Amino acid sequence: MAKLYFYYSSMNAGKSTTLLQADFNYRERGMQTMLWTAALDDRAGHGGIESRIGLHAEAHKFSAATQLWERIVAAHRVEPLACVLVDEAQFLSEAQVWQLARVADQAGIPVLCYGLRTDFQGELFPGAKALLGIADSLIELKAVCHCGRKSSMNLRVDGDGVAVKQGAQTEIGGNDRYVALCRKHFTEALGWWV
């Protein structure tokens, strides 16, 4: 029975690397996969998923208007899919998460989603909220804070490395804009307990 999986973590935990390794494992065995990533994240160039350690694969892009169920089922009719892998899953809409659940439940294709759980203010992203609610399997990938504890938070910083407390939920960036921290150092950086 196919399942909907959600692999979540803070930044720098290797989500994209883990996704690309899973894709490689399927393809090495001669199985067809379908990769997706958020259209608004263009850091890897047009249509790509890229890990911080340099792995790369081409992927379909989803936006808020993308009908994932229809696109995946159409591709599955042409060449049977063994797995669907979604990077930046926090940017999925609730409706898209339900479409991916339908892919697992009705089309019988496993769906592996990888993404952040929370934003720079500790709030759930819409896609993460829906996945935490309905995924069959929740897997936390671990990243490490500078203190050695597990990092679970994403601190947004400005050009001088100072914590940003307000702004839009979504602002694309890498190590230049975000620091993965444990909750203790996250709240200290924001001055919440002062």
Q: Which of 28, 50, 79, 88 is catalytic?
A: 88
What amino acid occupies position 85? Answer: L
94 is catalytic: no
Angle between helices 68-78 and 94-106 (to 10 degrees): 30
Residue with tokens 């990533």: 37
The residues assigned a catalytic role are 88
